Structure 1
């Protein structure tokens, strides 16, 4: 931890002529489809699908704020009723970026993450029963973001996630974008921690 703080201080104190690698924007909005897969033999490796929205806004030359919200759900039907599971995940954070070359940025961010879970059970003749739970956590990560070519982009991050009612765990993110125009692109991302893998595909508008 001490070495990380010293490195961050040195990076913050170093002047740079550029604010970001060429073609990389830290102000954007995106939305799309997402799926969460859980590796659990007892539950037969469940998958839940839904959607997400995400945005980022540059507030200084090398600093940006970001937020995201995703919701996934799945319904199980039985002979005498049904069960619907729903997971909502909001996220708010702040990030820092530093040019490493004309095409690559070093990135670092911290974020508040919340997981809201709701189970709704419906049984014939007994009505509906709802149960809710939530947990709050924090995530810190570092990585790189760059442009392999004028119309493509890629990013890789590694970090640590911890919080109330959850065990601390390492988390990794791999993503990319293919640009149709300077402003519009198709994005894809994979995020994994412990036995959970989240896949996302969406459309991004950069400004």
Structure 2
């Protein structure tokens, strides 16, 4: 929480008189690696690895639509009555939303968004290499966030968001996001992001192309 407050303060304090770099783009595509760390009630903390793809498109000066798809998985091996058991856990998360942004200074935008999120979970069971069973479940949820997005320097960008997520078969939870980007060119950049809510922390590292 302390790091989030520090980043927010730095963004808000960016001087109005500073020479503005290339403007913040709300039209981009991005993809890369992601890891989801779960903190289960049973005390285990599995880490699932995978990839993600997301993008945004500016509909108007202050409005953009966005979407994304994330998939992560983990395999577990065990022995049951001399049978070699295998379980593959997979989590898939598509999302679709709309955002609004408003300049606060030459370097900082206020942002807000609302999104539909679907959480799909699947377990595939097999014994000695033979398929045995499959268990599936899903949750539909809505997420609302507000935050700041800005450029601390001409080749860097940072954002911070906080909000709330709630849906079917889940308790409402507060969610926070902290991320940043280093630009190699006007189009290409390397991004990193951490998103956390009760019982889950997601780390992402990817490449973004802004237009």
TM-score exceeds 0.5? yes
CA distance in 2: counterparts of 1:50 and 1:125, whole angstroms: 23
Is 2:80 the counterpart of 1:82? no
Unaligned residue ranges in structure 2 (runs of 5+): 1-20
Kindly report the root-mean-square deviation, in angstroms, between the aligned alpha carbons of the 2 structures: 1.5
2:146 corresponds in structure 1 to: 142
Counterpart contact for 1:64–1:96, Cα < 8 Å? yes
Deviations 1:48-97 (A, max 9, x none): 00000010000011000000100000011223220000000000000000
Match of 1:67 in 2: 67
Residue of structure 2 in register with 1:112 after alignment: 116
Is the CA contact (8 Å cut-off) linking 2:22 and 2:154 kept in structure 1? Answer: no
**Is the Cα contact below 8 Å between 1:22 and 1:103 reproduced in 2?**
no
For the pair 1:187 / 2:204, whether they are aligned, the reply is no
Match of 1:40 in 2: 40
**Pairing 1:1-207 to 2, within 5 Å after superposition:** 23-40=23-40, 42-79=42-79, 80-124=84-128, 127-207=131-211
Q: CA deviation at 1:124?
A: 3.4
Alpha-carbon distance between aligned partners in 1 of 2:31 and 2:145, rounded to the nearest angstrom: 22
SS at match of 1:168: strand
Q: What whole-Å deviation, never above 9, does each CA across 1:20-57 have from its counterpart, x for those lacking one?
A: x9520000000000000012373521100000001000
Q: What TM-score results when the alignment is normalised by the length of structure 2?
A: 0.85
TM-score if structure 1 supplies the norm length? 0.87
How far apart are the structure 2 equivalents of 1:84 and 1:127? Answer: 11
- 1:176 Cα deviation from its structure 2 partner: 0.2
Q: Partners in 1 of 2:131 and 2:50 — Cα distance?
A: 26
Number of residue pairs matched by the alignment: 187
5+ residue gaps, structure 1: 1-20
